[in-house]
Amino acid sequence: MNSVRADNRDPAPTLANADADRRLSLAWRALAAVEDPEIPALGIVDLGLIRFVTLEADGTLDVGLSPTYIGCPATEVIRRSVERALGSAGIGAFVVTQVLSPAWTSDWITADGRRKLEGYGIVPPERPAASMRDILRKARPVGCPRCRSTDTECISEFGSTPCKALHRCRACLEPFEYFKCI
């Protein structure tokens, strides 16, 4: 395209590229500031919920957003927060697309996200259960985030939010939350 443009007074293509880069980086910066409503320490980018930010041919920015759990009440809150953040980021036209497949997995939580979870007192997920035997017999003990003891027990497969399970440390007797592996 550039080669056919002899008129160098019109640097539009370069500007357009620069503008696209600027919009993409503004979008990512705005998204990085969106927190999970139920785990405020954690951003949605840390959680791995943003699947892509792409520039469509018509100039619209398409932002792919995945739900953690399809019935999670936070899903709609997150979507609205994302729309609000993008709306005030000065990035022009955008759409938010729900991405179901491939399904979100707790493996996509970033290293940074895992550190933040731990700092918040929630044990980050280990690995997805592979077999029925794993599923029926809780395979590996989950370490206590406070005293590091592995003498812990699962009190409930479900906790205060769809993404967490409830555990208890038998050493320091404190209850703690574990981010489920899915």
Partner 1 sequence: MNAASPVVREQELNADAQALFRYVLRLGDLSLVLGQRLGEWVGHSPALEEDLGLANVALDLIGQARLLLTYAGEVEGRGRGEDEIAFLREHGEYLNAILAEQPNGDFGQTIVRQVLIDAFQLEVYERMTTSSDERLAAIAAKSVKEVLYHLRYSGGWLVRLGDGTDESHARVQSALDNLWPYTVELFAEDALDRTMADRGVAPRLSDVQAAWLRRIDEILAEATLRRPKDRPHSWHGKRGQHSEHLGYILAEMQHLQRTYPGARW
Site residues, partner 1 (CB under 8 A): 67, 69-73, 100-105, 128-129, 132, 135-136, 138, 155-160, 162, 166, 180, 182
Answer whether 182's CB lies under 8 Å from 152's CB.
no
Answer whether 181's CB lies under 8 Å from 126's CB.
yes
Q: Which is nearer to partner 1, 121 or 175 (CB)?
A: 175
Q: Which is nearer to partner 1, 119 or 175 (CB)?
A: 175
Q: Which is nearer to partner 1, 1 or 173 (CB)?
A: 173
CA 14, CA 16: separation in Å to the nearest integer? 5
Least Cβ distance, residue 44 to partner 1 (angstroms): 17
Answer whether 36's CB lies under 8 Å from 74's CB.
yes
Least Cβ distance, residue 122 to partner 1 (angstroms): 16
CA 95, CA 175: separation in Å to the nearest integer? 41
Least Cβ distance, residue 101 to partner 1 (angstroms): 4
